[in-house]
Amino acid sequence: MKVRIRSPRDFCAGVIFLLFGLCAVLMGRGYPVGTARNMGAGYFPVVLGALLVLLGTVISIKSLMIAGEKLENIGLRPMLLVLLAIGVFAGSVDSLGIVAATTLMTVIGAAASPESRWREVVVLTLVLLGLSVGAFTYGLGLPFKLLPF
């Protein structure tokens, strides 16, 4: 019997909840669980994880029966580039300094939008550099390394 997923969004959501819940139960069991009267560190993780598994299952089953909207496509360009920009910032701010981190992040981030124009990006980068160095590092005294040395 072919099962048709009537609401793909709910189905995916249900699966995600189920997976999170499963992780919680499995990891929670690694800690001392205790009893209801004397709860250990693992009690809540296991109970909540089980609850999440249950909820995820119900949502997924409901999605087979009740119609819902289709899944939208994932816009790869904005998602990947924005996340990359943030990741590059996180990776470089301590090692290469705030100047490099800001520049890289702004350039990569700007690439995420097809509306960006390169001349503007240069000016924007300079403005943001001014802010991160002037306002945040010197003005507010945040302990950023300026340059890679």
Residues in region 69-128 near another protein by CB under 8 A: 69, 71-72, 74-75, 77-79, 82-83, 85-87, 89-91, 93-94, 102, 105-106, 109-110, 112-117, 120, 124, 127-128
Instruction: Report d(CA 7, CA 12) in Å as an integer.
Output: 9
Whole-number Å distance between alpha carbons of 26 and 37: 22
38, 41, 43, 45 alpha-carbon torsion, rounded to 10°:
160
Q: Does 132 bind another protein (CB under 8 A)?
A: yes
Judged by CB under 8 A, does residue 46 bind another protein?
A: no
How many whole angstroms separate alpha carbon 74 and alpha carbon 95? 33
Of 100 and 102, which has the nearer Cβ to another protein?
A: 102
Nearer to another protein, 2 or 45 (CB): 45
| Measured distance CA(133)–CA(130) in Å, rounded | 5
Q: Is 38 in the site for another protein (CB under 8 A)?
A: yes
* 134 makes contact with another protein (CB under 8 A): no
Residue 148 makes contact with another protein by CB under 8 A = no
Answer for which of 64, 96, 133, 136 binds another protein (CB under 8 A) is 136
Distance in angstroms (rounded) separating the CA atoms of residues 110 and 81:
8
Instruction: State the DSSP code for 13.
Output: H
